[in-house]
Chain A
Amino acid sequence: MRTWQFFLVSLVIALAGFMGARLLQNDYLFFAGYVVLQFIVLATAWNILGGYCGYVNFGSAAFFAMGAYTTVVMTKLPAFANRHFPEEIAALVGIPPIPVLILLGGVIAGLVGLGTGYLTLRLRGVFFAIATLALAVVLQTLIVNWDFVGGSRGAYVIRPATAPLFGINYIEYLFLVMLVLVVVALTTARAIERSRLGYGFATIRDDELAAEASGVPTLKLKLVATTLSGAFMGMAGAPFPYYIGFLEPSSAFGLAYAVNAIAMPMIGGTTSWVGPLLGAVLLGTLQQLATVTISSAVSLLLVGLLLVFFVIIAPNGLLGLWHDYFGRKHKTEDESKTAAVKTS
Chain B
Amino acid sequence: MTAPLLKIDNVGKRFGGFVALDGINLEVARGERLGLIGPNGSGKSTLVNCMSGTLHNETGTVTFDGHPMNGLLAHQRTHLGLARSFQLPRPFHSLSVAENIRVPLLYTVRQRRDVPHTREELEHRCHEVLGLVGLEHKARKQPKDLTQVEMRKLELARAMAAEPKLLIADEAMAGLSESEVKDIVALLIALNERGITIILIEHIMTAVMSFSQRLAVLVSGRKIADGDPQDVIRDPEVERAYLGQ
Contact = CB atoms under 8 A, between A and B. Distances in A.
Interface of A: 196, 199-200, 202-203, 205-207, 209-219, 271
Contacts of A205: 94
B54 A214 contact: no
B92 A202 contact: yes
B78 A214 contact: yes
Contacts of A271: 94
B158 interface: yes
A309 B136 CA distance: 40
Interface residues of B, number: 32
B73 interface: yes
B112 to A, nearest CB: 10
Interface stretch (B1-9, B98-106, B176-184, B203-211): B98-106
A216 B103 contact: yes
Contacts of A216: 75, 103, 107
A219 B54 CA distance: 14
Contact of B75 (A196, A199, A202, A212): A212
Contacts of A219: 73
Contact of A212 (B73, B95, B158): B73
User: In terms of DSSP, what is the predominant structure of the interface of chain B?
Assistant: helix
Contact of A214 (B53, B93, B94, B103): B103
A199 B95 CA distance: 9
B104 A210 contact: no
Contacts of A209: 54, 74, 86, 90
Given A209-B86, A212-B75, A215-B162, A199 B103 contact: yes
Nearest to A205: B94
A218 B75 contact: yes
Contact of B92 (A196, A210, A212): A210
B104 A214 contact: yes
A212 B54 CA distance: 8
Nearest to A212: B74
Interface string B170-203: 0000000000000000000000000000000000
A87 B243 CA distance: 91
B73 A215 contact: no
Contact of A211 (B79, B83, B103, B110): B103
Contacts of B53: 212
B106 A210 contact: no
Interface centre among B75, B102, B159 (most CB of A within 10 A): B75
Given A202-B92, A206-B93, A207-B90, A213 B74 contact: yes
A294 B74 CA distance: 56
